[in-house]
Amino acid sequence: MTGVITLGRLEIRRALRNRRVMFFTILYPAMLFLLSASSVKGKNVPGTNIPYVDYFLVAYASFGVIAASMNNNAMRIAQERKEGWIRQLRLTALPSYGYVVSKIAASLLVVIPAIVITFALGTTQGVKLSAGEWVSSFLVIWLGSLAFTALGIAIGYGIPQDAVQPVTLIIYVGGSFLGGQFFNVSGALETVGKVLPTYWVREIATEVISKQPVSWGGVAILAGWVVACGLLAAFMYQKRAED
């Protein structure tokens, strides 16, 4: 167990000193949030009483989380698979699940600044929430990150290293576009978006901060994604056990 913890700690340190990771998880979403928030001051999302600023708060916090959990894990794992680092770890007393567990644990910590910093910026842009709403929306995005972490692990193990970057980018941008991370989706886009975890992380977190009933169907879809991606990741991991 100490091995898993030490490895997890090293994973976190590596993520935090990686400028690319920090840019895509914190700086880039924070910048987009400030730009979007300032352009919609005082307006509500059409047809609702949800302030646009609140909407973008959740949208961009989750956007940063997707990069921190999915992109980071997919690229790291593919890279480490190719370099032989995973093989080297198998030549230690680290339990076979240790590598993946440390990645998941590290991701759960690395996504926190992505959420907290956007939230902090939100308070400067006129977002006013109760303590309970801050905490519950944090929890939705934080736990929702598990779906993206699992997806990242599955991609990292399942796809050849040179294809990982484009594939991840397509899922990241496409998923965020359809999930409403960039703007409020409606019509056909929303119909498609409604099957995606990107949509439901944002939607459920928005519901909890706007005094709306939580869509339990959406919670189920999101939980389904966590489980499905987890199984896919476990399968890919097994398949590559002799790499």
Partner 1 sequence: MSMSNERLVGGPGVPAVSFEQVSKHYGSVQAVRELSLQLPQGRAIAFLGPNGAGKSTSMEILLGLKHASSGRVEVFGKTPRQAMMAGHVGAMLQSGGLPADVTVRELLRLMTKLHPKPLPVDEVLSRANVADLADRRAGKLSGGQTQRVRFAVAIAGDSDLIVLDEPTTGMDVENRQIFWNAMKGEAERGKTVLFATHYLEEADQIADQVVVINKGRLLANGSVADIKAMAGFQRIAFRLPGVTREQLLDLPHVVSLEVLHEHVQIQTSDSDKTFYALLDQGLRPMEIEISALGLEQAFVAITERDNGDAGAVEGSQSEDVR
Chain residues binding partner 1 by CB under 8 A are 2-3, 6-7, 10, 13-14, 17-18, 80, 82-85, 87-95, 242
CB of 242 to partner 1, least distance (A): 6
Give the residue from 110, 136, 105, 153 showing the smallest Cα distance to 5.
105
Nearer to partner 1, 20 or 41 (CB): 20
Taking the complex as a whole, the smallest distance from the CB of residue 237 to partner 1 amounts, in Å, to 15
Minimum gap (Å) between residue 21 Cβ and partner 1: 11
The DSSP line for 10-63 is HHHHHHHT-HHHHIIIIIHHHHHHHHHHHHSTT-B-TTSS-BHHHHHHHHHHHH
CA distance 85 to 83: 6
- Residue 85 or 138: which CB sits closer to partner 1? 85
Exposed / middle / buried, residue 233 (Cβ in 10 Å: 0-12, 13-18, 19+)? buried
Measured between alpha carbons, how far is 82 from 117 in angstroms, rounded to an integer? 34
Instruction: Tell me whether residue 82 or residue 109 sits nearer to partner 1 (CB atom).
Output: 82
- Output the smallest distance, CB 2 to partner 1, in A: 6
Neighbours of 136 (CB within 10 A): 18
Beta carbon nearer to partner 1, 9 or 190 = 9
Q: Shortest Cβ distance from residue 80 to partner 1 (Å)?
A: 7
- Identify which of residues 95 and 217 has a Cβ nearer to partner 1 in the complex: 95
C-beta of 22 vs 34, nearer to partner 1 = 22
CB of 83 to partner 1, least distance (A): 3
Structure tokens at 3: 């091995």
Q: 230 is written with which tokens?
A: 């987890």
